[in-house]
Amino acid sequence: MAPRAPRGLAPALLWGLSLFLGLPGPVWVQLSPPPKSSSPTEPHPCHTCRGLVDSFNKGLERTIRDNFGGGNTAWEEEKLSKYKDSETRLVEVLEGVCSKSDFECHRLLELSEELVESWWFHKQQEAPDLFQWLCSDSLKLCCPSGTFGPSCLPCPGGAERPCGGYGQCEGEGTRGGSGHCDCQAGYGGEACGQCGLGYFEAQRNASHLVCSACFGPCARCSGPEESNCLQCKKGWVLHHLKCVDIDECGTERASCGADQFCVNTEGSYECRDCAKACLGCMGAGPGRCKKCSPGYQQVGSKCLDVDECEKAVCPGENEQCENTEGSYRCVCAEGYKQIEGICVKEQIPGILHVLTYFTPKTIQCCSYCSHPHLAVEAGTQRHEKTCPGPHGKQVAELSVTSRHSGSAVGLVHSQQASSRR
């Protein structure tokens, strides 16, 4: 059976707030904290409540400033005493408490408005701190500073100095959080009361701890000097109170690929690629190869490129060899170009001779010439026409009006042209 809302304004308000906070069931006296895994995009209800109260207090200052600003002091005091705790002022303040885009603030104000009115008219004298009365005591959303969780337990290090003053207590001031201390750099321990890894106690008294950094590779130390090391970081070994770098490459601790070589660095190592000429190597360059890669040969202490073009390696007609690093390639000889895997001679402009008896006919000439014009002489006449066409072809249509024998000369590749009589 679904829970029923209790009768009475205040209990009903608290019941509604329990639903608002997503609790498993209604709470009649106090609100339980929200789940620990609340969405990071939504503020904790305590923070929303604190923001509401801060805005409310600013509204109180604004309404006093706007309504009274000099003049008859006695008159102002009389009016102020009536306005100070009036419903008119409360309404003016509440109207500006939440910004238009702050949905969480509007939702909380709607659910707690009658509690705020109760405090305004009846509780101000005995509970002047609205945040304490509303957010902590009435709604049970917040805890006092230095405490956390549903029961407002003290943070590690105590409520007076949570986390020793050197860290942030998770959930401090709210009914949520784990109370875990997130310590500042250099500090550690449950309550940040110790120096962290790589730091030492430079100064300590009953209330303060100063942690300073150890010498670079030291994980624990008694002072800042190189000789003050007590424990070393990974990649270093302690020797006479000093941390000495471990050469992983020389002690076979490194793990590099077959075509890589090891380079020692401070506290670690790097794996770098061998030269292209090498099949396995002991260092950088073609002089540190274990074996030579295909396309290379041992010359002295180095693996050098083999010039395959010294032999006849390109079988295709009109091909020539071009040496590359570690290999070679076959390309067409000068004056040839590759078409469908075959080297074909590049065609160049030539002369087309046509001897015929012209009648008023149209002659059509086709060629693969790249020259863009075709010139024709017929008797004393000369005709010229641009010949565009697909794939480098050119077509010229020549209208010849001469009726006697003559010659036609075209700047195209030599071939026979025919005419119809």
pLDDT in tens, 296-325: 999 999 999 999 998 878 888 889 999 999
Strand partners, 365: 396
Q: What pLDDT shows up at residue 396? A: 43
- According to DSSP, the β-strands at 373-378 and 381-386 are antiparallel
The answer on pLDDT for 351 being more than 70 is no
Work out whether the CA dihedral 286, 287, 289, 292 comes out positive or negative: positive
Backbone phi and psi for residue 68, each to the nearest 5 degrees, phi listed first: -140, 120
Q: What does the pLDDT look like over 374-390, one tens digit per residue?
A: 444 444 344 444 444 44
Which residue type, as a one-letter code, is found at position 38? Answer: S
Cβ pair 27, 14 in contact under 8 A:
yes
Kind and range of the H or E run holding 18: helix 9-20
For the chain, the straight-line distance linking the first and the last C-alpha, in angstroms and rounded, comes to 109
Judge residue 46's burial from the number of C-beta atoms within 10 Å of its C-beta, 0-12 exposed, 13-18 middle, 19 or more buried: buried
DSSP SS3 for 195: strand
Q: Which two tokens stand for residue 413?
A: 């590749």
Q: What does the pLDDT look like over 147-187, one tens digit per residue?
A: 999 999 999 999 999 999 999 999 999 999 999 999 999 99
- According to DSSP, the β-strands at 147-148 and 153-154 are antiparallel
Q: What is the dihedral of CA 27, 32, 34, 36, to 10 degrees?
A: -140
Could you tell me the residue ranges of all domains in the chain? 9-33+45-63+79-142, 162-213, 309-343, 347-410
Q: What pLDDT shows up at residue 340? A: 85
DSSP SS3 for 299: strand
Q: What pLDDT shows up at residue 68? A: 58
User: Which contacts qualify for 342-348: CB closer than 8 Å, 24 or more apart?
Assistant: 342/316, 342/317, 343/316, 343/317, 343/318, 343/319, 344/318, 345/318, 347/413, 348/413
Q: What is the dihedral of CA 107, 178, 142, 9, to 10 degrees?
A: 60
- According to DSSP, the β-strands at 342-345 and 394-399 are unpaired
Q: How far apart are CA 190 and CA 263, in angstroms?
A: 40
**CA-based R_g, the chain, Å:** 47
Cβ pair 247, 235 in contact under 8 A:
no
Cβ pair 127, 136 in contact under 8 A:
no
Lowest mean pLDDT among 37-51, 95-109, 151-165, 184-198: 37-51
The average pLDDT across 360-387 equals: 41
Which residue type, as a one-letter code, is found at position 271? Answer: C
Instruction: Just give the CATH number of 309-343.
Output: 2.10.25.10
- Sequence-distant (6+) residues with CB within 8 A of 378 are 358, 400, 401, 402, 406, 408
Q: How far apart are CA 140 and CA 46, in angstroms?
A: 9
The answer on pLDDT for 364 being more than 80 is no
Q: What pLDDT shows up at residue 392? A: 41
Q: What pLDDT shows up at residue 408? A: 40
Q: How far apart are CA 342 and CA 360, in angstroms?
A: 44
Backbone phi and psi for residue 87, each to the nearest 5 degrees, phi listed first: -65, -35
Q: How far apart are CA 345 and CA 323, in angstroms?
A: 23
- Buried residues in 369-380 as b, exposed as e (16+ CB within 10 A): bebeebbbebee
The answer on pLDDT for 93 being more than 60 is yes
User: Which contacts qualify for 30-36: CB closer than 8 Å, 24 or more apart?
Assistant: 30/139, 30/140, 31/139, 31/140, 31/141, 32/140, 32/150, 32/175, 33/140, 33/141, 33/149, 33/150, 33/174, 33/175, 33/176, 34/175, 34/176, 36/176, 36/177, 36/178
| pTM score, whole prediction | 0.53
Judge residue 185's burial from the number of C-beta atoms within 10 Å of its C-beta, 0-12 exposed, 13-18 middle, 19 or more buried: exposed
Q: What pLDDT shows up at residue 279? A: 95
